[in-house]
Structure 1
Amino acid sequence: VRDGKTQVREWLDKSVMNFRAPPSSYVLGEGGYGVVYTAVFEGHACAAKEIKISERVTHTKVLREVRAYEQVQKVDGERSPYVVEFFGHVQQEASHILYLELCELGDLLNLVTEGGVDVRLSRKLFGQLLRAVGYMHGRGVAHRDIKLENVLVAGSGDLRLCDLGLAARTRAGGRQCICTDFAGTHSYTAPEVWAAASYDAFLSDAWSCGVCLFTMLTTMFPFAKADPSPEDGEVDWRLQLLQECEDDPGAFVLKLHAELRRECTIAESGLHLITSLLTICPERRATVATAALSPWLIEAETEHSWPRDELLAKMEMSAQPPTADRSRSSTSWSSEEVLFRSFQQACGAETPPAELLPPPRPDCIVLELRRQRAHSGSRSLRRPRVEVAEWFLDIASC
């Protein structure tokens, strides 16, 4: 055992300078840019985002994301607790590795689609989202791709905003962040961004936050594509409905539910918050700082935080029967024991205990939100499994 642990430590030291997936690591997600693994950086469990260099993804573009993380987190030695922590970056000839905080409970879209998010939890998480985005804006960084897939939930049950690959930067403390290029995911993108003219990315971030809140409370997207002048000439009927309700705050959400023959249970203060963010005219739209003062969010300041176990229960897709002869759970092992067992499994030296192996993934229930997501133009990742998160909890607690 001692020799095996020494081998693991040597592997950890080498992996910092020359990244590779750790033994028995899990793929958290993948897309056109590359892959996200569970990994180790300087002895700490983390998520490693491996970005492969191509004609579309250049070294300059990746370094822009790195600089955005550094600007958000290393000014005055402070960082927002609701922005995913950035540990470091390794540049290789054909790829870049970004080491980021491992968020055990996956993303917010997974939470919404698997079990739904009630009002109390929505208040807490959305309030944290506004704080994260407001903090970034104060540091001079506009996210430009805010969506539920980029909102992770840590083991503590708190939110973490991630993926600054499309972020735009300006001077810290600036009141605006003017951009001229398109950035974002179709269902979350503000109308002015589609026009390809100059726009304030801080205000387009506010629109995206409004889409997130609407989706959390209704389990459906408010728009498929909020483009006021699409090439095919067919404007989304829901955007037209919003235009008709511009002078009647809250009416859009109610009328949309009526059109779809769905019951609306959102409080009046919540309706006003949603429509203040989903305002077509950017100059009339609420800023993130203004939205954070909404009466709908006040109750979240005094409500008890959701325990981690309750969030895990919401996100589990299938209950697993307990092992009868299980004397110690995987989450009670030390980080060295977990890594050692992983190393042994990779070398074929020992068959790992059954509780270390995640069960086969069952078929997911296809909800309306998932159907919309397939046509949203999203570059989203595959959802990490709860079982994978549990397996790495002991490492993350180091």
Structure 2
Amino acid sequence: MPSNGFRVEKTLGTGSFGSVVLLTSIYNPSLQFAVKQQRKQTGERNKMQRMEYLIHERLSQVGHENVIKLHARSNDDYYHNLFLDYIDGGELFDKVKQDVGIGQAQAQNYFQQIISGLEYIHGHGFVHRDIKLQNILLTKSNTVKICDFGMAAIWRHKEREALLNKFCGTEVYCAPEMFLKVPHRGPPLDIWSTGIVLFAMLSGAFPWARASKDDRFYQHWINGRLDEARWPKMDDTLLDLFRKLLIDDPKERITIEQIKDHPWFKKDFSKEQKKPMKRSLASDELDSAVSKRAGSLTTLDAKRPRLEPLKKRPQSHSILSSDVSSASEVEQ
């Protein structure tokens, strides 16, 4: 990684493919970059790395205030290096108090920014596929920055839409069509994930471990059974939004345009108290025991999956089968 005129301040994070370090200019200390150092891969993983760079490059040509920006790229014998915005306010994950959440006004503000960023991403023909609390960064002024396009894909190219077929992302945030292992559209995946993010922000917990037939709490939801002891108390407007975000049929799922027109999305919270929604005593009792398996969330009996502790947070994963759209197709 080129270091002429820069120094490495610290490591910001590590992952299976490499690490992210903070780089500061020696001559202008206010000039800083978060550099994602990725070990060079071969085969399918190399395609994923090329895809990530391509998407970053395309999205950064114009830029959007709610999407992390790529400033430069470099290569050496062992690493690909992406020079990205350094965001100094941490992850949204760190803002959400476990089993409590944050107030509706703040959650709405973050949600509005996430939707704005996704609208830009989808409008350029890409889908993120790993929207989660950890991939939403915040500036110190609470501006949202969607980051980490390692699982991203192309859903539309030259006005032609392609179906996707790869299972990837983070289980607790994944849409049900992911688990069916059938070709699926891109944008509804991200819409579903924003619904899980919104629920987690408001309650400090997850509604279920995974949106599949073997999760009985998810089955309760799609069968119209709302267990008030497991859901935070919410008004009809908010509940209506959840029912449209978290609908199992992707063809019926709400679109970004419809989200922007929803009453809760447009609601003025300026005159209301900024505090988390009340939880019932039964809900606290239900959350008292949690089981974790293979890096993902699960439940014991009637316990609701909680937000994982920082050191045991849900991890992204991908089964490396090719999507319909590949990096080579886009580069042609």
Taking structure 1 as the reference length, what is the TM-score of the superposition?
0.64
Deviation per CA, 1:264-309: give whole Å up to 9, x if none.
3323211111120100011111112211221111135x859xxxxx
Q: Distance in 2 between matches of 1:291 and 1:174?
A: 23
Q: Which structure 2 residues correspond to residues 89-238 of structure 1 after superposition, within 5 A?
A: 89-113=73-97, 116-171=101-156, 174=159, 176-228=161-213, 235-238=214-217
Distance (whole Å) between structure 1 residues aligned to residue 109 and residue 160 of structure 2: 26
Given the alignment of the two structures, is residue 293 of structure 1 paired with residue 261 of structure 2, yes or no?
yes
Q: Which moved more, 1:114-123 or 1:281-290?
A: 114-123
1:370 paired to 2:314: no
Tell me the amino acid that sits aligned with residue 227 of structure 2. Answer: L
Deviation at 1:205, TM superposition (A): 0.9
Alignment of 1:188-337 (within 5 A): 188-228=173-213, 235-245=214-224, 255-258=226-229, 260=230, 264-299=232-267, 303=270
8 Å contact 1:177–1:202 — kept in the other structure? no
Q: Is the 8 A contact 1:140 1:177 kept in 2?
A: no
Encode CA deviations 1:240-262: one digit per residue, 9 max, x unaligned.
Answer: 111211xxxxxx5xx2332x4x6
Distance of 1:375 and 1:13 partners within structure 2 = 36
Two-structure CA RMSD over aligned residues (Å): 2.7
In 2 relative to 1, CA 377–49 (structure 1 residues): closer, same or farther, beyond 3 Å?
A: closer
- Alpha-carbon shift at residue 82 of structure 1 (Å): 0.5
Residue 68 in structure 1 maps to residue 55 in structure 2: yes
Distance in 1, matches of 2:167 and 2:160, equals: 20
Q: Which runs of 5+ in 2 are unaligned?
A: 272-304, 318-332
Question: How far apart in 1 are the matches of 2:162 and 2:120?
Answer: 14
1:84–1:100 CA contact under 8 A, matched in 2: yes
Residue type of the alignment partner of 1:73: S
Does the Cα contact within 8 Å between 2:36 and 2:82 map onto a contact in 1? yes
Runs of 4+ in 1 over 6 A off after TM superposition: none
Task: Name the counterpart of 2:4.
Answer: 13
Greater share of strand: 2
The amino acid of 2:40's aligned partner reads I
Consecutive unaligned residues in structure 1, runs of 5 or more: 1-10, 16-21, 229-234, 246-251, 305-366, 380-398
- Post-superposition offset of 1:170: 4.0
1:14 CA displacement: 5.3
**Residues in 2 aligned to 1:298 and 1:144: alpha-carbon distance in whole angstroms:** 26
Change (3 A) 1:174 1:152: farther
TM-superposed deviation, 1:144: 0.8
Q: What do the CA deviations read for 1:92-124 (whole angstroms, capped 9, x no partner)?
A: 221111111111111111111378421111111
Deviations 1:197-228 (A, max 9, x none): 10001111111111101111111111211123
Whole-angstrom distance in 2 between the partners of 1:40 and 1:177 = 41
Task: Indicate how the Cα distance of structure 1 residues 175 and 211 shifts in structure 2: closer, same or farther if over 3 A, else same.
Answer: farther
Question: Residues 90 and 170 (structure 1 numbering): CA distance in 2 closer, same or farther, change over 3 Å?
Answer: same
Asked if structure 2 preserves the Cα contact closer than 8 Å seen for 1:34 and 1:52, the reply is: yes
Query: Match of 1:26, as an amino acid?
Result: K
Percent of residue pairs identical: 26
Structure 2 residue aligned with 1:50 = 37
SS of residue matched to 1:27? strand
Answer whether contact 2:206 2:306 (CA < 8 A) is retained.
no
Paired residue secondary structure (1:180): coil
1:103, 1:111 → 2: CA distance? Answer: 15
SS at match of 1:37: strand
Relative to 1, partners in 2 of residues 1:107 and 1:97: Cα closer, same or farther, differing over 3 Å? same
Choose 1 or 2 for highest CA Rg: 1
Q: Secondary structure at the match of 1:164?
A: coil
Q: Report deviation, 1:12.
A: 5.3
